[in-house]
Amino acid sequence: MDQPLTLVIGTKRYSTWSLRPWLMLKAATVPFTEVEIALRQPDTKAKIQEWSPSGKVPLLIYGSLRVWDSLAIGEFLDELCPAAALWPRDLSARATARAISAEMHSGFQALRSACPMDLGLDSPLADLSEDLLTDIRRIEAIWTECRTLFGPHGPYLFGNFTIADAMFAPVVTRFKSYHLPCNKISDDYCKTILALPWMQEWTNAALS
């Protein structure tokens, strides 16, 4: 790696998309500079546009290159830092990891709407709509299948921490904040992500 890395993110308490590549960078164990832009402020849009061609965060800067979108950043980091194995090396596991990451990237609208990420929130959700329950069941199925088929050699979805874990980390915080129901495998996985030192570092910074 011959260029410095800079990650432009939004407020840590709320920005799910910023959390994902931040965790990927931590997993890759590469140094990077962090620029945090306060969200929900009158000048937020203008400040982001100073950095990002998409007008959104996150944004990864590598020399003159700008990479936006959390999943695209993950793909770039996997190629930039192959030793980190941010995607599983096994063909079947890698294909599955990519599929569930893409599903997380574009889906679960009921969960996003009913349970926005707020790391300072502890508010059990009394009324779970059928659409939300459908999302919860699908997430449980993903976590259970991956832990059962691909996770025997470590505590994460595919054994070692991968891009897929980073993609689902904000979902874990939602399960905690809103006390969403889950089975034992999913509950154990949530506890594993929340205990991750990088996750604790992000959370502590968000709440400080």
pLDDT exceeding 90 applies to what percent of the chain? Answer: 88
Give the pLDDT confidence of 136-189 residue by residue, as tens digits. 999 999 999 999 999 888 999 999 999 999 999 999 999 999 999 999 999 999
pLDDT at 187: 97
Burial of 143 (0-12, 13-18, 19+ CB in 10 A): buried
Q: The pTM is what?
A: 0.96
pLDDT digits (tens, 9 = 90+) for 44-65: 988 988 898 888 899 999 999 9
Hey, what domains does the chain have and what are their CATH numbers? 5-84 (3.40.30.10), 91-196 (1.20.1050.10)
What's the number of CA atoms in the CB half-sphere (13 Å) around residue 169?
Answer: 33
**pLDDT of 183:** 96
Distance (Å, rounded) from C-alpha 94 to C-alpha 96? 5
